[in-house]
Amino acid sequence: MRLDGKTAIVTGGASGFGAGIVRKFVAEGARVIVADIDGDAARAMATEVGAEAVQVDVGEGDSVNRLAAEARSIFGVPDILVNNAGITHLPKPMEDVTEDEFDRVLRVNAKSVYLTARAFVPEMKARGSGCILNVASTAGVSPRPRLNWYNASKGWMITATKAMAVELAPDGIRVNALNPVAGETPLLKSFMGEDTPEMRAKFLSTIPLGRFSTPADMGNAACFLCSDEAAMITGVAMEVDGGRCI
């Protein structure tokens, strides 16, 4: 029960890595809001694990503000905010990514971190405590070809994490990131371009431990970084990647 008595919001919490984080947080005693653009999926996940659900578009300011207002009515200012929601473009030469694709990736992967900070940081500052966890990627550390602007968005998130950590430390707010390698999530096919045994083998050959990141792996790492056991850890981008970035 490492998160007993804590409250948490997990964006993109209805599936993939976000669902793994939600399950772990609930199992460790946290009261959790599953925040997802798919409201039905969020409600289904919340019902399954015993959490709350809020539909949100993390790239839209008014929607994020509504999430903050609903969270306030459910349990007040969250102790933990997990910016997990993310998307990618399909693998292609950088110059072939359309402007709409570029804008969508940066809107969800980068602008969302700004919007949630704007919505939640002031009240965390007033309370004098808080924990923010950004789900970045090994792509922000060791970029893969043909995912250029996705790589860049995750590099942005890593830098944002460090900048936030430095600025918010005097206010008692810790900010860290997780860098997973590709995992068994709805985004896996988008990363690979096609989900075939040959393509999976090619991806796995770059991971020394020989497997993808799992939602449970992410839940375990997130639980540690958001628990009081990590009280002296801020500004870290922890790789959960089976050695991919070595």
Q: Which helix (H) or strand (E) holds 131?
A: strand 130-135
Task: Determine the pLDDT at residue 195.
Answer: 73
Give the residue among 65, 121, 52, 60 at the shortest CA–CA distance from 85.
60
Task: Determine the pLDDT at residue 198.
Answer: 83
In a domain, 155, yes or no: yes
Per DSSP, the three-state class of 72 is: helix
Look over the chain and give the mean of its residue pLDDT values, rounded to a whole number. Answer: 95
In a domain, 246, yes or no: no
State how far the Cα of 190 lies from the Cα of 234, in Å rounded to an integer. 31
Mean pLDDT of 50-75: 98
Measure the N-to-C terminal CA separation of the chain; round to a whole number of Å: 33
In a domain, 181, yes or no: yes
**94-110 pLDDT tens trace:** 999 999 999 999 999 99
Domain that residue 84 falls in: 7-185+214-237
Active-site annotation holds for 114: no
Task: Determine the pLDDT at residue 187.
Answer: 64
Q: Which long-range contacts (CB under 8 A, 24 or more apart) does 5-8 make?
A: 5/29, 6/30, 6/31, 6/79, 6/80, 6/226, 7/31, 7/32, 7/33, 7/75, 7/76, 7/78, 7/79, 7/80, 8/32, 8/33, 8/78, 8/79, 8/80, 8/81, 8/82, 8/226
Task: Determine the pLDDT at residue 50.
Answer: 98
Mean pLDDT of 171-181: 97
In a domain, 206, yes or no: no
The active-site residue out of 120, 149, 150, 191 is: 150
- Does the pLDDT value for residue 82 go beyond 90? yes
In a domain, 204, yes or no: no
Report the number of secondary-structure helices (H) and strands (E) in the chain.
9, 7
Mean pLDDT of 198-206: 84
Output the domain CATH number for residue 108.
Answer: 3.40.50.720
pTM for the structure as a whole: 0.94
- Does the pLDDT value for residue 139 go beyond 80? yes
- Does the pLDDT value for residue 17 go beyond 90? yes
In a domain, 205, yes or no: no
As for how many domains the chain has, the answer is 1
- Does the pLDDT value for residue 183 go beyond 90? no
In a domain, 20, yes or no: yes
Per DSSP, the three-state class of 148 is: helix
Mean pLDDT of 194-207: 82
In a domain, 12, yes or no: yes
